[in-house]
């Protein structure tokens, strides 16, 4: 977790681009702050600590209510994570397991008939083919999935990462998709889940992270979810503050909060240190904003030592 002071020109979209955070993620973590004009000197929480989804750590894992992709490279003890835009209501993204079946640089876009019809009805007709370039909604790269018609791709718009704006595909920031494309092998396993609640245990402390569930995939009962999630640890000494857990679930701000511990350990409030999000000395050696994002993504991926029993920071 990091806290920064907003500059006059900052918006949540700009900050999300810089720190690889989605728009909805920024909104949830900073209630009451104007997303388009936070104000000079306003404290902005950057929610960069995550509990890993409860699924096999193999290849790509996409958690829809979190608007986030995790990538576990084969044979490496690291995890990369990126914000996503997902399918809007009526054009929902699929659930299940598939794999990467294609990788294309500078793709053309052939709008499906359904999308062309929708645009025509809105008075915004689309061409049969959109060539590569700044107006192409696929951005600089597309990654084809085994689910027919579904892609992971970049974007021609700054807004939309961390929201439900696509026709079912997964939209990434262009620097993020550029880096993912460069390290992702063909055939990589892809698992798409809907997990609004996540549990992690670190040093005997139980953390709970809650996101707003998608309308088409309601959240489970909080007590039942926590009971089931903790069974795997087989620790009879775990103690959970269920009232606090329910409060965390109702706020669904995406921030891991300690809700319990091993009996005998003190409950401690979460402490977020105020640190510069981008060290000045690092910025001096970076030639462009895109390279800055890539360099920090590499650094974040090396932090597996901070990942214990499902928590990554």
CATH number at residue 17: 3.10.350.10
Residue with tokens 């809650």: 210
Tokens encoding 59:
């290849």
Residue with tokens 């008939």: 113
DSSP 252: -
Residue 296 falls in the annotated catalytic set: no
What is the helix, strand, coil percentage profile of the chain, to 5? 25, 25, 50
> What is the number of alpha carbons within 13 Å of residue 64 lying toward its C-beta?
25
Of 64, 87, 284, 300, give the one whose Cα is nearest residue 180.
Answer: 300
Q: How many domains does the chain contain in total?
A: 3
- 172 dihedral zone (left: phi>0; alpha: psi -120 to 50; beta): beta
| Of 167, 169, 211, 296, catalytic | 169
Are 111 and 125 within 8 A, CB to CB?
Answer: no
Say what angle helices 289-301 and 12-19 make with each other, to 10 degrees. 60
Tokens encoding 87:
């399918």
278 shares its domain with 265: yes
Helices assigned H by DSSP within 57-195: 113-121, 174-183
128 shares its domain with 174: yes
Question: How confident is the prediction along the chain (313 residues), in pLDDT tens digits per residue?
Answer: 789 999 988 898 889 888 889 888 898 899 999 989 998 999 999 989 999 999 999 999 999 999 999 999 999 999 999 999 887 665 567 899 999 999 999 988 777 666 777 667 677 777 667 788 888 888 899 999 999 888 999 988 777 788 777 566 899 999 999 999 999 999 999 999 999 999 999 888 999 999 999 888 899 999 999 999 998 888 888 999 999 999 999 999 999 999 998 865 545 434 333 323 333 333 332 333 343 344 444 444 444 333 334 555 4
Domain end position, chosen among 193, 226, 250? 193
DSSP 29: H
Residue 252 falls in the annotated catalytic set: no
Domain end position, chosen among 162, 193, 224? 193
32 shares its domain with 95: no
Which DSSP helix (H) or strand (E) runs through 231?
Answer: helix 222-231
Range of 309's domain? 196-313
Q: What is the per-residue pLDDT across 156-215, written as a single tens digit (0 to 9) for each?
A: 877 778 877 756 689 999 999 999 999 999 999 999 999 999 999 988 899 999 999 988
Where residue 71 sits, what CATH number does that domain have?
2.40.440.10
| Of 153, 167, 211, 296, catalytic | 153
Full-model pTM: 0.80
């Amino acid at each position: 977790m990091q806290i920064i002071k907003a500059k006059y020109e900052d918006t949540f979209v700009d900050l999300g681009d810089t720190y690889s955070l989605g728009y909805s993620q920024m909104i949830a973590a900073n209630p009451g702050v104007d997303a388009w004009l936070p104000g000079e000197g306003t404290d902005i929480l950057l929610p960069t600590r995550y509990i890993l989804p409860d699924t096999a750590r193999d290849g790509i894992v996409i958690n829809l209510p979190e608007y986030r992709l995790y990538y576990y490279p084969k044979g490496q003890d690291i995890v990369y994570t990126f914000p996503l835009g997902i399918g809007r209501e009526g054009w929902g993204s699929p659930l299940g397991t598939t794999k990467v079946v294609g990788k294309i640089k500078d793709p053309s876009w052939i709008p499906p008939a359904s999308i062309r019809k929708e645009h025509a009805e809105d008075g915004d007709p689309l061409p049969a083919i959109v060539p590569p370039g700044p107006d192409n909604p696929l951005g600089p790269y597309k990654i084809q999935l085994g689910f027919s018609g579904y892609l992971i791709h970049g974007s021609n718009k700054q807004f939309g990462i961390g929201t439900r704006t696509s026709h079912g595909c997964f939209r990434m920031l262009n620097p993020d998709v550029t880096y993912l494309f460069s390290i992702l092998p063909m055939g990589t396993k892809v698992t798409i889940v809907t997990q609004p609640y996540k549990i992690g245990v670190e040093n005997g402390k139980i953390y709970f992270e809650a996101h707003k569930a998608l309308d088409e995939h309601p959240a489970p009962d909080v007590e039942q979810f926590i009971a089931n999630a903790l069974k795997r640890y087989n620790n009879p000494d775990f103690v959970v503050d269920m009232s606090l857990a329910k409060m965390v679930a109702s706020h669904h701000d995406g921030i891991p909060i300690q809700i319990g511990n091993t009996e005998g350990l003190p409950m401690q409030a979460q402490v977020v240190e105020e640190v510069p999000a981008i060290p000045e000395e690092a910025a001096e050696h970076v030639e462009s904003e895109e390279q800055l994002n890539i360099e920090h993504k590499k650094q974040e991926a090396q932090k597996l030592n901070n990942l214990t029993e499902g928590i990554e920071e």
